[in-house]
Amino acid sequence: MEKYIFIIGGVISGVGKGVATASIAKILKEYGLNISVIKIDPYINCDAGTLRPTEHGEVWVTEDGGEIDQDLGTYERFLEKPLSKSNSITTGQIYKTLIEKERKGDFLGETVQYIPHVPEEIKLRIREIGKNHDIVLIEIGGTVGDYENIPFLFAAKSLENDIGKENVSYILVSYMPIPSHIDEMKTKPTQLAIKLLRENGIQPDFILCRGKKALDNVRKKKLEKYSNINAEYIISVPDVSSIYIIPLQLEKENLGEKLLKTLNLKKKKEPNWQPWINAISKSQNPSKEINIALVGKYLDIGEFQLKDSYLSVNEAINNSASFNNIKVKINWLDSKNIEKGLVDFKGCNGIIIPGGFGNSGVEGKIQAIKYARENNIPFLGLCFGLQLAVVEFSRNVCKLNAHSTEIDPEVEHNVIDILDEQRNIKEKGATMRLGSYKAILKDNTKIKEIYNSNEVYERHRHRYEVNPKYHSILEKNGLILSGLSPNGKLVEFIELENHPFFIATQAHPEFKSSLLNPSPLFNAFIKACLFNQEIEKELIKEL
């Protein structure tokens, strides 16, 4: 019988429930078990594709073209295995399916109701994933007490009733605040979260106590007494310097073994943490430091900057930094500030233009690309970054009045134009060119050397492309179209010859990077940035 572990949040969101879930999945995988992870997002959107990145963070794209919450990315990075769009469940999907089934006549003669139909549909989806795995972890987004979580908690309890408690375990990831005016860790919010969970019929098997500091014995005992949970199952998870340390932290607390005990399971093999530890220690003891400018726009919300909009790019940079044994300082640049002339790229060893949509800050991004091209600064363009690099090259090298029709539909030279298959699309949800597509890499190009292959699959999320009408003009002026779709129509990679590193891709290689297997393209970019820094140092010495 397959087993299920529900991970539920308490007190506040944003305390690392996703990382905790990914870490537990990693531990169980190290024990030789076949693991899958589901993310439940209780919003009415059918997927994350239509959400605002400044509110929800970046949209994660799966191999099969799902547009999903970034937690799925964390699971993939820790598990080192691609997950499918069916690993994401939202309220919108559940209701859409139920209403479609009702209209088809699947429930003829029945009243379709919140109970039992909604939880039944939720369980159906969870058990579908369970069919091919030993254990499925299910992270329920938000926190217990949110109105929108209720059907999912009901479904969890109902699944337990269907298959027995020995096949289901519950983990509450809670937050332990230390109010600054008393400087003492408080357990009360967690006690209340446990109480709320019980109101849904769920007694947590484990409490993971997240906080700035470790949970001391006094507070552990207090939680034990007030919540009737043995202290052995109350796990302290204080802040650490890297998220990749968390599986090791949980292993030290024996969480994996304790979990298997509650589920009547045994390890299938002894874990080998050495490769993981080696990769972390490289990042902890960097030999050098470089500066990279990441030029974005989804950075401000109120008084705060939300770097989560570029989470995978950030992770891919860090994965490649540890791989190269260096530290990367990311300078988050708002492209609107470049337009206002407030930015100076001095001391910057590389520039990244990540994915993006719409016209805000576009000219600032184009200025950054021009600077990188003219000053031999390593440049990496990702999706929108490729499109704007083509616009920059068309304007300043080919001398064309050029733009993307996404920004200026009436422009004279539409070097970036809507994909043919996108022209008549009316519905915005899940209709971009999404998921994994093959690119054929040209001989004697940097990109072919980097991937060390004639072809490569990367994930995509776009509606626009380099207009095939301009391929030959761009090439005549020196832009190398170094990777194309198998039919030769779509530009997948571009590069410049007489530049230390000027490469852009229509894809998002950041979605296939992990600590143990960093992206070859990011690795090469980071190496080029390091080289740029060394050259600069030499120059300064000579002066």
CA torsion sign for 356, 360, 362, 368 is negative
Residue 39, beta-bridge partner list: 88, 139
Shortest Cβ 460–ligand GLN spacing (Å) = 8
Q: Please, which residue, 31 or 464, has the CB nearer to ligand GLN?
A: 464
Q: At residue 337, what are phi and psi to the nearest 5 degrees? A: -70, -30
Phi then psi dihedrals of residue 432, to 5 deg: -70, 175
The C-alpha atoms of residue 124 and residue 233 are separated, in whole angstroms, by: 30
Please choose, from the candidates 508, 463, 447, the residue with its C-alpha nearest in 3D space to the C-alpha of residue 311.
Answer: 508
Nearer to ligand GLN, 322 or 387 (CB): 387
Query: Coil, helix or strand for 349?
Result: coil
| Smallest separation (angstroms) from ligand GLN to the CB of 432 | 6
Shortest reach from residue 418's CB to ligand GLN, in Å: 8
Q: What is the dihedral of CA 37, 38, 39, 45, to 10 degrees?
A: 150
Q: Which of 329, 338, 347 is nearest to 388 (CA)?
A: 338
CB of 296 to ligand GLN, least distance (A): 11
- Write down the least CB distance from residue 323 to ligand GLN, Å: 25
Would you tell me how many other CB atoms lie within 10 Å of the CB of residue 464?
A: 22
> CB of 107 within 8 A of CB of 116?
no
Rounded Cα distance, 156 and 226, in Å:
24
Buried b (16+ CB within 10 A) or exposed e, 340-365: eeebebeebbbbbbbbbbeeebbbbb
Query: In 3-state terms, the chain is what percent helix, strand and coil (to 5)?
Result: 45, 25, 35
Angstrom distance (rounded) from CA 37 to CA 174: 20
Whose tokens are 């007494």? That residue is: 225
Nearer to ligand GLN, 97 or 422 (CB): 422
* Residue 42 or 355 having the CB closest to ligand GLN: 355
Nearer to ligand GLN, 324 or 387 (CB): 387
Report how far Cα 364 is from the mean position of its chain's Cα atoms.
Answer: 25
Residues that bind ligand GLN (CB under 6 A): 355-357, 383-384, 387, 406, 461-464
186 vs 463 by CB, closer to ligand GLN: 463
Report the nearest approach of ligand GLN to the CB of residue 34 (Å). 33
Which H or E run contains 138?
Answer: strand 135-140
Single-letter amino acid code for the residue at 387: Q
Q: Residue 187 or residue 335: which is nearer to ligand GLN going by CB?
A: 335
For residues 93 and 46, give the distance between their C-alpha atoms in angstroms, rounded to a whole number: 5
Taking the least distance from each CB to ligand GLN, the nearer of 2 and 363 is 363
Minimum distance of ligand GLN from residue 479's CB (angstroms): 18
Q: What is the residue whose two structure tokens read 């719409």?
A: 358
Strand 379-382, strand 502-505: pairing: parallel
Shortest Cβ 334–ligand GLN spacing (Å): 17
Beta strands in 205-341 (DSSP E): 206-211, 234-238, 288-296, 300-301, 304-305, 326-334
What CA–CA distance (Å, rounded) separates 232 from 203?
15
Would you mind telling me the total number of residues written for the chain in this entry? Answer: 543
Task: Give whichever of 67 and 160 is closer to ligand GLN, judged by the CB atom.
Answer: 67
φ, ψ dihedrals at 46, nearest 5°: -75, -25
Give the residue with the Cβ less far from ligand GLN, 125 or 433: 433
Closest approach of Cβ 415 to ligand GLN, in Å? Answer: 13
52/270 Cα distance (integer angstroms): 43
Q: Which active-site residues does the annotation give? A: 383, 508, 510
CB of 92 to ligand GLN, least distance (A): 22
